[in-house]
Every structure is written in structure tokens, then in C-alpha cells.
Structure 1
Amino acid sequence: MKTADPTMARAINDRLALDLLLERGPLTAPQLRALTGLSRPTVSDLLERLRAGGLIEIVGETGSDRRGPNARLYGLVSGRAHVAGVDLRRDAVHVAVADLAGGETGSASRPLPPDPDLAALVAGAVGEAAGGRALHTVVLGTPGLVDPRTGAVTGSGVPGGRPDLGAALRDALGTRVRLENEVNLGAIAEHREGAAAGSDDFALLWLDDGVGGALVLDGRLRRGASGGAGEVGLLKFGGADFCRLLDAAAVAGLGSETVAARIAEAVFVLVAVLDPGLVVLGGALGRAGGDRLAGLVADRLGPLSPAAAEVRASRVEGDAVLRGAVLTALDLVRDDVFGYESFSG
């Protein structure tokens, strides 16, 4: 079995300490020893190494209410790097900027005119939200298919959309840019902080100005060969496109029972083919319908499918796509700034 050499062992210990500071906030050296099981000299060395690298700093002391020396509190240097998440809609673009610790430091929104210079408009919104801060990584969620290999976008329906939007934004912003299907980012947010937290397998049915789906299996987002995994909006029911059956105009004035019956048809396809065990209803319609709509869909799903599946409404607060974009960008910047991501023998 492969073992870690001293350099790799130091990298593993450093990442462990940094992740604990992210999760728990400032900690003392004794607290880090207790949480990691590392020795006093090892923790002392890693703290000095991380301070010298500009990743942590002394942020205070504990023990001011007792006699004896106080213990130093170490915290992340949250301003070491900043990221931006972008939610590109067909009528607007929304941006949130966060520091290394995940604290929001800026935001911006701009409407999309009928025929914009999309790269310039998005770059302007990102620059406004950044407020002069240099950005390490930008993650943008967009409608349409995003090729996992090339990043090319097709079928977005966004005014001014172009297949090479990612490359154009990289040139405009001068930083790393990653494009992702917006429903996939919504699924990341649900998995980390929402209705699917703690679930290794689930499907997200996105019910918004567009209809789509995303899949997380064995704890990993699945995109498919061309980026189209989970795109149930392309299905037809009774000769009609499913996305047309559940757009705002189609459901206006319909009762909850009728809307639930339509949604159950698409949920059944996801359950029958993938058996995810959990389906989350996201987007504006899924959030607005809440637990009542989710319950109605589950009632109609039961007789259709022998595979058991729970149906839940989205639980991500605010813009799930924007939150998923920020979380993805934070993962990328932390892997770069913190260094070693994981170790397996």
C-alpha cells in the first residue's frame, strides 16, 4: 500500500487544519490538536507554515477571564482570494462575490436588453459586484447544454448567447471562468445546503422559466456525455413538449391537483430510469408550491412507480443557481489556494 512521504503528509495536515478553520471558525492550537489528533510539534509547525504562507493569522486570544497565559486564536485570512458566482437568466444576470471563507462581499444585477453584447454585459456586472477586488475564479450558470469537455454552450435561449461565452468572459475578466448548466448548479446547492443534504442519490426537477433536471448519483453531479443528463424538459407528453406544459402561461389558473399530475409524469420518468430515491422540486414553481405541491406529486407518483421515491420541495434560501455557482467557485479556489485536496492510498 502506498504511504505518504513527508511533503504529502504535511500537505494533508495543512488541508485538514484549514478545513477545520473553515467549518468551525477561529481555533486555538490545543483545539486543533484535539480535533486532528496531531501532536503538539506537528500542529505548531503547521500553524507557523500556514501563517508564513499568508493563509491564517492570529485573530485574538482566549482565557482573558482566568490567570495564566492566554491561548492564541488562529483564523483564516478570508481576503486572500475572492470568487464570483453568476446566474445568467434569459431576462437578467445576477452576481454574488464571496471571500475565501464564503462571506459575501458584493453583489450586482443587470437586466438583459433584447440584443446585448453578452460577454461585456456579464463582465460589467461581475466587475461591479467585485468592487475592485481581484477575482480568482468565476462560475457562471446558464440555461442550455454546457459541454463538459469544451465548455461550449448550446440552446441557452439567452439574448446575445454564444457558444464561446466562457472564452469571451475569460478574455474580458482576465481570470478563470467555468460555465455550468444552471440546473446543475441548483442541484449542487440542494445537495450541500438544501432538501438533498445528506443524500447520495437524488434528482432535481427544475420548474422555472425553463424546465430541466439534474442528477446526483453516488454523491456526484452527473452531466452526461454532452451535458444533457436529466434534461426532462425535452420530453413530450401527448405530443406536447413537457417544458410547454409547465411554463408560467400553461399553469396560470390551473388547480394544484392538475399541476401536480403534470409534474408527476416527469418525476415518474426520472424515478423509473434512475431510481434516485429522492426528487427535489426546484425553481420558482417548486419553491412556491412548497411541501403541499411536493405531497400531491408524491401521491400521484406512488401508483405509477414500483420504485419508492420521496418528493421534497427546494429548501435552498434565495437564488439556488447563484448559491450553487458560489459554492462551486469556492471549491475551486480552496483547492488551489489550500493546495492538497485529498489523499488515497
Structure 2
Amino acid sequence: MKTATPQMARAINDRLALDLLLEHGSLTAPQLRALTGLSRPTVSDLIERLRVNGLITVVGESGEDRRGPNARVYGIVADRAHVAGVDVRRDAVNVTVADITGRTVGSATRPLATGRSRVTGRPRRSGDDLVEVIADAVGEAAGARRLHAVVVGAPGMVDPHSGELATDNGVPGWRPNLLQALRHRIDAPVTLENEVNLAAVAEHRAGAAQGRRDFVLLWLDEWVGAAVTLDGRLRRGASGGAGEITTLGLRNGSLCDLLSAEFIDGLDEESLAARIAEGAFVSVAVLDPGLVVLGGETGRSGGDVLAARVGEHLASLSPVPTQVRASTVEGNAILHGALFTALSIAHQDVFGEGPVQPTPPGSAPATISG
């Protein structure tokens, strides 16, 4: 049996302490000892090591009457790294920048051209180059801060090998090899990810799927999509097509036609729940995830009532026990997922080995407050 070397043990202990500081915000040495189970000398050594390496600093004292090392409160050096999450929709680009603790430090929004050409029926192209629009928004949100990682969420299937979009996504100004162009324009590593996959990351880290190893996110918004998490990891499939359910045929038409926002206006809740259950049934029958999360505007606005009715309809279609929950991620789930993913990259690079997080496509392996 292979045993850990002293160097490996120190790295594991350091990352454990850093993860606890990320979770709690700040801790004293006695609190670190209690939470880690490590000895006094080991905790003293790791604190000194992390301070020398510029990863933590003293942020206060635990009591006015106490003095000495045990009274010091330690926190992570927040500006050690900054990351950006980018949500590229068909009508706007939204950017949020956070420090390495997940605290938001900047944001920006850029509108995109909307509407469709009367001649071709395709989305009108923006007068501004999309690469420049995204880069300018990232630059505004970051200010003078240097970025460690940028994660971009956008509609469409992302090739897990090249990291580029495999199909047209209808975003005005999107073009082949846009990711490469962004990487030349932005002075930081840039990763592209499917937007529903990022929403699933947010749901897993801070929403209705916290603590679950397996679940399917059904995205119900202006467009319809799904994302799959199995054994705690986001699954993209061999070609990046896992969850691409828009063309799935149901009894009365395609899933996209029956569940996208423009087609469900005027439906009563019972009819809507039946449609959603029929769409979710395929994932449940094949994957047995145990949990289906309803995301997007329709899923969130329907809340627990809609989720309960979908669960009833789903139970009548499948003998497999499956919980159905409404999304509980606050705000923009896609943007949160992009930030979580970018932070995972930064934590891996700056802090070292830690818990396995979803690895973005086309990238090397590597919490959010508003």
C-alpha cells in the first residue's frame, strides 16, 4: 500500500484549511484545529506556510482581551486572483467578475441586436463584432484587475475536444472559431461552455441539487434544454450532445415546440405539468437520476406547485421513484455557473489539488456571493 509523502500530506492539509476558510470566511487557529482534527503544531505550520505563500492573512482578533497566535483570525487573501463569468444570450452579454473568495467585484452588460430578418428568417447580425462586445464587457467588469480565468456560457453544443461551438446557436454575430478569437483578445485563459450545463453547475453548488450525486436539470425558458450530472460530475457526452433534447419527438410535436416559452402561453398548469413530465420521462427512464430540477423562467416561476404536479404526472409514466424540484438558484443561474466553474479553475491553480469540480471542455483540469 502506497503511503502519502510528507509533501503530499502538507498539500492535502493546506487545501483542506483553504477550503474551510472559503466556506466560513475567517477562522482562528483553534477553530481550524477543531474542524480539521489536526494537531496544534500541524495547524501552526500550515498557517505559517500559507501566510508566507501569500494565500492567507490576519484579518482581525477573536476577542479584545485575548492576545497571541490563538486570538488571531485568518482569512484568504481575496485579491490573489480574479475570475470572470460571461453569459452570452441572444439579446445581451452579461459579465460578472469575482475575487478568489467568490465575492463579486465588478459587472457589465452589453445589449445585442434582436429580431429576425424578414428575408432569411435568421437573427439579425449585430453591427458590432461580438468578440469586441464580449471583450469590452469583460474589460469593463474587470477594471484594472488581471483575470486568472474567464468562462463563457452560450447556447449550443460545445465540442468537448476543441472547446468550440459545434453548431450555430442563433446569437447575433457568433462565428466559427469565436473562442480562439476571444483568447487572442482577452488577456486570460478563456473557456466556452454550454449555458444549460453551467446552470446545472450552479444548481449543484448552490441550488436545488446540493448534496445530490445524480440529477437532471430540465431548462424551460425561451428555449428548452437539459443537463446531466451523474456521480457528482457534469456529463457532456462523446460529442458534447448530452442533454440536447430540443428535437425530441413527443406525441404532439417536438419537445422544443411544446415547452419553449412562446408555445406555453395560455396553457393551464395541469396541461403544462403533463407536457413537462412527458419530456422528463425519457431522461428518467434511461438515466434513473432520482431528481429532476426544473430551471429557466418557467421552472422557477412555477415553483413548488408546478414541480409537485410534474412529479405526479411523472410517477404515472414511470415506476422509477423520482423527485421533482424547482430551481432555487437566486439570480442568473448561467452566470453563477460560469463563475463557479472559473473559480474552480482558479482554486485548483492557486490552492492546489482539491475536490473534483466539473472540468470545462477544451481546458486543462484545474462559491459565489452577490
TM range (shorter): over 0.9
Deviation at 1:342, TM superposition (A): 5.9
Match of 2:160 in 1: 148
User: Structure 1, residues 185-240: CA drift from partner, whole Å, max 9, x if none?
Assistant: 11111111111111111101001111000001111111101111122212122463
Match of 1:115 in 2: 125
Give the Cα–Cα distance (whole angstroms) in 1 for the partners of residues 297 and 353 of structure 2: 38
Match of 1:10 in 2: 10
Match of 2:282 in 1: 269
Deviation at 1:341, TM superposition (A): 2.6
Task: Determine whether 1:339 maps to 2:349.
Answer: no
Mapping for residues 4-83 of structure 1, pairs under 5 Å: 4-65=4-65, 71-83=71-83
**SS in structure 2 of the partner of residue 209 of structure 1:** coil
State whether residues 90 and 158 of structure 1, in contact with CA within 8 Å, keep that contact through their aligned partners in structure 2.
yes
Match of 1:180 in 2: 193
Percent identity of equivalent pairs: 65
State whether residues 64 and 70 of structure 1, in contact with CA within 8 Å, keep that contact through their aligned partners in structure 2.
no
Match of 1:204 in 2: 217
State whether residues 220 and 261 of structure 2, in contact with CA within 8 Å, keep that contact through their aligned partners in structure 1.
no
117-126 vs 242-251, which moves further: 242-251
State whether residues 12 and 342 of structure 1, in contact with CA within 8 Å, keep that contact through their aligned partners in structure 2.
no
Task: Determine whether 1:132 maps to 2:144.
Answer: yes
2:170 to 125, 145, 157: 157
Distance 1:135 1:68, change over 3 A: closer
Task: Determine whether 1:296 maps to 2:309.
Answer: yes
Q: How many residues align?
A: 343
Distance 1:67 1:42, change over 3 A: closer
Tell me the C-alpha RMSD between the 2 structures.
1.7
Which structure 2 residue ranges, 5 or more long, are not aligned?
A: 114-123, 357-370
TM-score by length of 1: 0.95
291-300 vs 272-281, which moves further: 291-300
Give the Cα–Cα distance (whole angstroms) in 1 for the partners of residues 251 and 60 of structure 2: 66
Deviation at 1:82, TM superposition (A): 0.4
User: Structure 1, residues 34-76: CA drift from partner, whole Å, max 9, x if none?
Assistant: 2222222222222121111111111111221458887111110
Give the Cα–Cα distance (whole angstroms) in 1 for the partners of residues 184 and 20 of structure 2: 36
220-229 vs 58-67, which moves further: 58-67
Give the Cα–Cα distance (whole angstroms) in 1 for the partners of residues 251 and 323 of structure 2: 26
Match of 1:91 in 2: 91
Give the Cα–Cα distance (whole angstroms) in 2 for the partners of residues 125 and 320 of structure 1: 19
**SS in structure 1 of the partner of residue 267 of structure 2:** coil
**SS in structure 2 of the partner of residue 75 of structure 1:** strand
**SS in structure 1 of the partner of residue 246 of structure 2:** helix
Distance 1:17 1:67, change over 3 A: closer
State whether residues 223 and 261 of structure 2, in contact with CA within 8 Å, keep that contact through their aligned partners in structure 1.
no
Amino acid at match of 2:136: G
1:308 to 315, 321, 325: 321
Which structure 1 residue ranges, 5 or more long, are not aligned?
A: none
2:300 to 264, 283, 287: 287
Match of 2:255 in 1: 242
**SS in structure 2 of the partner of residue 146 of structure 1:** coil
Task: Determine whether 1:254 maps to 2:267.
Answer: yes
Give the Cα–Cα distance (whole angstroms) in 2 for the partners of residues 67 and 124 of structure 1: 49
109-118 vs 220-229, which moves further: 109-118
Give the Cα–Cα distance (whole angstroms) in 1 for the partners of residues 235 and 78 of structure 2: 31
Give the Cα–Cα distance (whole angstroms) in 2 for the partners of residues 312 and 20 of structure 1: 29
TM-score by length of 2: 0.89
Deviation at 1:249, TM superposition (A): 2.0
Distance 1:22 1:143, change over 3 A: same
